Structure 1
Amino acid sequence: MAVRFWEMYEETKVQFKLKIAAGKAGMDTVVSWVHMLEDETIVSRFHGEELGITTGMKAASPGWLLKVVQGMAKDDCAGIIINTGMYLKEIPEEVILWCEEHNFPLLEMPWEISITELIQDYCMRIIDQKQFEKKISNAFREAIQGRWKEADVRQVLGERYDMEGTYQAFCVYVKKTMEDEFNYNQSVIKLENLFGLWKGNDKINTSYGLIRMEDYIVLILNNSREKVFAELPGLILQSFSYFAKEHRFYLGIGPRVSHIENLSASYKKARTAMKMSMGTGRQIIQFEEMGFFKLLFSVEDTDILNSYAGEILGTLEEYDKVHNSVYVETLRSYIKNDRSLIGVAEDTFTHRNTVNYRIQNIKKILGCELKNAEELFPYQVAFYIRDMTKKEE
């Protein structure tokens, strides 16, 4: 939904006599703001998506312009427009070649065109688009809360989305610190640029909405096709590769539903899958593949879950504290190895007779024979809850 360089160029190329000198393949990127650029030091303050405009006042210095475009490309800027005719008669060939090779947009604008007018025009487009995006985002927030019937919600979303079509929600959570904010924003930019590449593809024809919640992101697809559904989870992971490599990325995927009235259901299930992703450490989880965990992770009140786990494991946990024993972990291994004493012995590096002694004591403490899956199940669920709590902490 963000403003893209290619779209602005197409709409203003005649008005400002713009000409693409190099990097046309890289123009389907987001433009966050436009800056006058006459000193290369300002590039170090860019955060990505910026579009620079320069008269080339310092281009007399050998290699100055090449250094500028290389710095901008490194910081994921949108491109540069050069106002030729006064300080810079023509763009150096080495700059054109480098920009073309690295798909960095390089545009030329004649000196008689006012830089001020172009900057004002572009910045107003960006401001207008941001205001529109805010309206879209707020409308989707209402929709995922089940308030899709509201007249203003239907009016705003109806302008761009197929209300009767299919919808699917994706919830993305990233564990980040204040120092990660730049990399986080860059990841979101990469994700938006991905949809920019799809926008012009008639075979994909997918509309999307991106909502920044308090501590996670909700991505909504409208009328996505099977090809998109199959590829998107991996592409989202790729967009957030910085965090994925450090195992700080979690994605929950809700089911595809028909009509916007069911978007809320897809969102809630995507959020549940995200919680399981966070609780288990698996980076991508689809709600429809969660099995029994659909129930466990759908419980909003975690105090209820922790209370249940305490009722089931509390006696054994207290015994371990008092006697400095390892009965809780022995029981966990006993369940994991399907009640095999040999399996527990190998898993815990403990002699089989010692394992048997511990299991018999555990049965007495719990007042349960642990003889079948039905009797083991409550303890297995309690361990799941304990693991969930540890992961969330």
Structure 2
Amino acid sequence: MSLQIQKIYQETAKTYQIHKLTGDSGLTRECSWVQLCEDIDTVKFLRGGELVITTGLMCERREGWLQAFIEQLVRYRASGLILNIGKYLTEQDISENVLAYCAQKDFALFTIPWHIRFADIVQDYGKRLLLAQQNQLNFEMLVRGVISSSCQKDDYLQALSGGMYPHTAFRLKLYELRRETIQESEKQFIVASWKRMLNHLRRPYLLFFQQNYLLLIIFHKNPEESFAVSEKLLAALPKEAAPQFCGESQIHMEYAGLTEAYQQAEAALEVARLTEKPVMQFDDIGVYSVFFALKDMRTLRKLYESLLVPLLRYDEQHNAQLAPTLRYYLFHMNSLQETARAMYAHRNTVSYRINKIKEITGADFDDAVVCFDYMLAYYVGDYFKMKDIVEKQE
């Protein structure tokens, strides 16, 4: 919903006789505002994302001024630069080194002739940007309202269906970053970095922070269309912007599915944490998806409480590790050796714990059905933790 330089350029190049010199990849940058800037010392006051216009008034024909000016713009994350050519700057001032640097940094560089009134450009672009930003904020507010299941959910859904927003298949993704506490300036940097990559998809999307997650909705032309977005983001983003885990929903066709999509992505994210897999789709979370579809939790609760609660209580009272030991044991095919290796414990220690578990539960772990029941109970416990159903045992 926000504006990329490419869209502004395509729609206004003829009107303002804008000539693109370099920085094709930089055209996918988000444009947050348009800013007249003449003094290299004032570049540091940019917030990031500005499309800058300059006449070169302060260059005073100093050699290397333009190169230094652009380097500062790149440093402070401007999205591009328009040079007003004719009086203070000429074509000869744009050296091969300048063009090479802009190409290297994917920084979009344009020129306009002197007779073009840049005040008209500032006014025109300002209106476009304000409208795009308002649409973006409205879209974000409506989506937040739907996924929060507020009392106005139906009103939000009706507004989303009004025709202003994309109406195609979509998938919702939740990303958990590596740090819980992120400053607002860092959030802006992260969102800008992600948008640079996402813009190459040439598909509508919505990206914003939701609680401690970064929420991404990508719209598809059809339900079968997919993008390996999560893996690319994990691999290519700067360390400070890279997520640790990602959960993805199923494909949904209508905005009425937003709440379910968010819950699916949240469940997949929890499973990603549990299994320590960077990316997990809801379709791949196995038995957890069955739990997710159930409305009556009583049978699951009874299974969990009858099999695992005695071990959990014993662990709390005696500072033992019977419950985790049994889990490792069952999921390592009842092998004492593999369980000991996985838990970094001595084999005799594991053997003692398994015997204690048998004493407390009376279970025969040579019986495949018994083992299945206990493994299922562990899955149920994981699911309850995801949904905050089970309180910590006393």
TM tier relative to shorter chain: 0.7 to 0.9
How far residue 79 of structure 1 moved from its aligned partner, in angstroms, is: 0.8
Report the 3-state secondary structure (helix = DSSP H, G, I; strand = E; otherwise coil) of the residue aligned with 2:195: helix
Partner deviation per Cα, 1:226-250 (whole Å, 9 max, x = no partner): 88514223234346452576xx532
Q: Report what 1:132 is aligned to.
A: 135
For structure 1, the 5+ residue unaligned runs are 200-205
Residue correspondence of structure 1 range 20-39 to structure 2 within 5 A: 20-39=20-39
Report how many residues are paired. Answer: 374
How far residue 7 of structure 1 moved from its aligned partner, in angstroms, is: 2.0
Q: Report what 1:192 is aligned to.
A: 195
Using the TM superposition, name which of 124-133 and 178-187 deviates more: 178-187
In structure 2, distance between residues paired with 1:361 and 1:178: 42
**1:92 to 1:346, Cα distance in 2 relative to 1, 3 A:** closer
Q: Report what 2:260 is aligned to.
A: 265
How far residue 132 of structure 1 moved from its aligned partner, in angstroms, is: 1.6
Counterpart AA for 2:263: K
Residue correspondence of structure 1 range 28-107 to structure 2 within 5 A: 28-59=28-59, 60-90=61-91, 91-93=93-95, 94-107=97-110
In structure 2, distance between residues paired with 1:34 and 1:82: 13
Using the TM superposition, name which of 374-383 and 333-342 deviates more: 374-383
CA contact (8 A) 1:174 1:216 kept: yes
Report the 3-state secondary structure (helix = DSSP H, G, I; strand = E; otherwise coil) of the residue aligned with 1:13: helix
Report the 3-state secondary structure (helix = DSSP H, G, I; strand = E; otherwise coil) of the residue aligned with 2:42: helix
Partner deviation per Cα, 1:79-133 (whole Å, 9 max, x = no partner): 1112233322343313234324543211222333333332222222111111122
In structure 2, distance between residues paired with 1:137 and 1:40: 36
In structure 1, distance between residues paired with 2:224 and 2:306: 47
How far residue 8 of structure 1 moved from its aligned partner, in angstroms, is: 1.7
Report the 3-state secondary structure (helix = DSSP H, G, I; strand = E; otherwise coil) of the residue aligned with 1:147: helix
For structure 2, the 5+ residue unaligned runs are 389-394
Report the 3-state secondary structure (helix = DSSP H, G, I; strand = E; otherwise coil) of the residue aligned with 1:265: helix
**1:324 to 1:40, Cα distance in 2 relative to 1, 3 A:** same
CA-atom RMSD in angstroms: 3.8
Q: Report what 1:161 is aligned to.
A: 166
Report the 3-state secondary structure (helix = DSSP H, G, I; strand = E; otherwise coil) of the residue aligned with 1:53: strand
Residue correspondence of structure 1 range 297-308 to structure 2 within 5 A: none
Q: Report what 2:173 is aligned to.
A: 170
In structure 2, distance between residues paired with 1:351 and 1:139: 56
Partner deviation per Cα, 1:38-67 (whole Å, 9 max, x = no partner): 232333344432211222133233322202
Q: Report what 1:377 is aligned to.
A: 375
Matched, 1:276 2:271: yes
How far residue 285 of structure 1 moved from its aligned partner, in angstroms, is: 0.7
**1:191 to 1:239, Cα distance in 2 relative to 1, 3 A:** farther
Q: Report what 2:289 is aligned to.
A: 294
Which TM-score applies when normalising by structure 2? 0.78
Report the 3-state secondary structure (helix = DSSP H, G, I; strand = E; otherwise coil) of the residue aligned with 2:154: coil
Report the 3-state secondary structure (helix = DSSP H, G, I; strand = E; otherwise coil) of the residue aligned with 1:62: coil
Among the aligned pairs, what percent are the same residue?
23
Q: Report what 2:392 is aligned to.
A: none
CA contact (8 A) 1:253 1:286 kept: yes
Matched, 1:7 2:4: no
**1:27 to 1:322, Cα distance in 2 relative to 1, 3 A:** closer
Partner deviation per Cα, 1:338-387 (whole Å, 9 max, x = no partner): 223344455554244x5444322222223434443244235533764698
Q: Report what 1:203 is aligned to.
A: none
CA contact (8 A) 2:193 2:241 kept: no
